Chain A
Amino acid sequence: MPTITIDGKELTVDEGKTVIQAAEEAGIYIPRYCYHPGLRIVGQCRICLVEIEKMPKLQVACYTRVQDGMVVHVNSEKAKRARQQVLEFLLVNHPIDCPVCDQAGECYLQEYYMQFGLYDPKMIEDKNKKHKAVPVGPHVMLDSERCILCTRCVRFCDEISKTSELGVFNRGDRSELLPYPGKTLDNPYSANVVDICPVGALTERDFRFKVRVWYLDETKSVCPGCATGCNIEIHTSKARPYKNEGRRIARLKPRYNPEVNDYWICDYGRYGFLFVDDDSRIQQPLVQKDGQFNEVEWDNALYMIHGVLNQALENGKSVRILGSPQMSNEDLYALKRFGNEVLEIHDIPVTVKPLEKPYSDDFLIREDKNPNTRGAALLGFDTDHAATEKLLADCRNGGVHSLIIFHHDLFKGFAAEDVRSALDKVETVIFVGSNMQPTAELATYILPACTWAEKDGTFTNHAGRVQKFDAAVDPLENSLPEWKILRRLAKQFGHAFAYFEAEDVFRDMAKKVPAFAGMSYRALGDRGMVINENGRPSQQAEVKEELTVVSK
């Protein structure tokens, strides 16, 4: 293991590491454009030049491997001056159209220019004209003029998505990033190139001109799009609601987690948040009367539902529940308690398999589009599709008086006539969900649940990793988290669930369910904890501070 000295700090690093990685371990930030820890190293941009003793010239920190006894000066006058001049070269053909550029505010050209830029430019030539505002794919907009040719996106398409759509064409100062002729950047991971682009060359089309990035608030969360549970950040625009067509969530960005998704996220997940601010959101409890939905207060709705369910139970009629793996562990635990203690139901199916097989691959996108199927299984729910089929068959035979459906659109998993014939036989259908959809329209009572972005909770992903997500925005109008709905409904039956926050539910669950023993929101941290085969949490998540840009 070589021992090296970086800016006077001596440290021992692993064999084969490069200077930039070693410096990161020492807490020294070296500027970088082309270097990205998730991609191959090319040494393209030269901004990471450092002075290494006994070497005749300055070396690129990203490409130079550490050797025993190496003495590196990151902040020597010579190295600083070199980086300043490299930045000047990178800006030779940059249009400096920051006012119209969506990257402004998170742009590394701006960042480094403010830190060590040559404030008195020597360049007097005219700038080259290249392609501007080219939509290269369904999600990505390209501006070749702004590109500094770091080739991060080219390498991403070669190595991570393995689709090779992008390339650098022409030579010299006419070099230009473009898609290969006849190709469009439409792979399922295409928008990741926007995240890794250090400048404004690749920007998102959905986010384009909507909000300036410095207006955004960030919340750590987990993608609800599939069983992988990619770590994300929800960027919300709360202070200026007139922007972004009233959408509160501006965009999603992947969050680094080496155990789950590294630096990446798929496009389905990235643009899967639009339902949160959709017009179809249910904002008030609704009661159907003669085919019309009337808005009622929460207390009235719960009182009526209690009346219906209580009468059914007293008359010995059957009340059934269809849960959903879209619900968080907390919601499912509250549902389990509600089923067991209040209604005395012990078999609650949760899974509805879609009719069409959804897209999946062997990288991040999984076939199971629910974030918490594993959690539901661990909590003792029946995650087999056949159980739901049997429930519908019972309904069709007239054996079910009342049915509580959480979130599911049954028309996506069963033939339309099957669903209709089954739900027609059920006297009272109660739907708890966030958005209006065909199944909800068949219900007598509709209770508004909030979406994952509006509540705290945890998901258990396919590998048994329990991950925490935070509320990014307030619940829309009168919607509530499912566990709160169940708590209030249980109170009508005279059962007190002593939960005031999602954390209370989790604490109770950690005590009662062996799979979650020893877990708490604090212990889960940013990376989550894994449930091992004997159903015990095995691994304490190691939380490493992300190295941020350190000013000189």
Chain B
Amino acid sequence: MSAKNSPSSATPFWRDERVLQTFGQVVFVLLVGLFFYSIARNMVTGLARQGMALGFDFIKGMAGFDIGEMLIEYSRSSTYGRALLVGLLNTLIVSVLGIIFSTILGIILGVARLSTNYLVNKIAAFYLEVMRNLALLVFLIFWYLGVFLKLPRVKDAIVWPGNILLTNRGVGIPWGIPTETFGTYRLILLGGLVLASAVAVFLHYRGLRTGRPPLTTLWFFVTWIGAAVIGWIALPSAPLALDLPYVKGLNLAGGRILSPEFMALFSGLTLYTAAFIGEVVRAGIQSVSKGQVEASRALGLSGFQTLRLVVFPQALRVIVPPLTSQYLNLAKNSSLAVAIGYPDFFYVSSTVINQSGRAVEMISLVMLVYLSISLLTSLFMNWYNQKIRLVER
């Protein structure tokens, strides 16, 4: 047993478990490295044989093609880089709107699924089952070809109350156009936000002092909206002029025109992801033990109060991690836009690949961008998860 005391003299290093473990790991890393190196080399030599060099200089070249929808200035004489930016913004807008609306709808569905009302419960169950078992691509194409392109032509547009025009060229909604007082109004909004935050902080501390739960969020919004309304009335002229959509020649004009591609992608993504979020919410709520609900009812809290103050805060811990992956799915699924012609980031990049012939560079760039979007989303959601987790004493 003396060997155990002095392993260096008795156990040769090739039989020392610690050395072997480290050695094994080093060999593995080297093999993986070698594998990727050979693949990268293979690619570079392959490209060299075809007389092609890698490089991102082409990004500054003139794009030469037009894009149907853009949030920033863009024309055919802009650069490829600018075109990609237009696509990226289109991806972001549809993802952000999709996340917001699918969360709202998902929470409603999740709660409805647990409702004791037979009809509400069954309708939610039916919706969830149908949506979760559909292929998203099929669903998107259905919304595009089956719904939004089947709307009437511009001259026989359906008019919904609130002056919403439905046509196969897009959906026109009223929109505000900034007037000369808009700059001042923006300052008022900002001031309102500061004031509302102050109110919220005050309420929070008073709540801590008195022990009565304050409706912080509610008062925050009441203050802010109040400031916004007062500002709107107080200004000499309204900061936004109402612009109604109307039919002009071949197309819609005025207001804000949402293209059929955008509407199809947005509706498809939202309705589809909402089903998954609904299931996540249901699972989260069910994870809260029944005793908690019973205890809060025994304390005299109403049904809604129970949900808001007891169930949701605890359910949130279970909900947030899978919710994050649903958000990521939604953002990534937005690249299916390619099937219905919505000019999202992936769509624009495939046009750029085709017009510039830079497949390797562009695909790497596309992957990096989607990765960044996903990482930023999960970074934010992890921070939020950290914040809401149960503080154990």
Partners in one complex: no
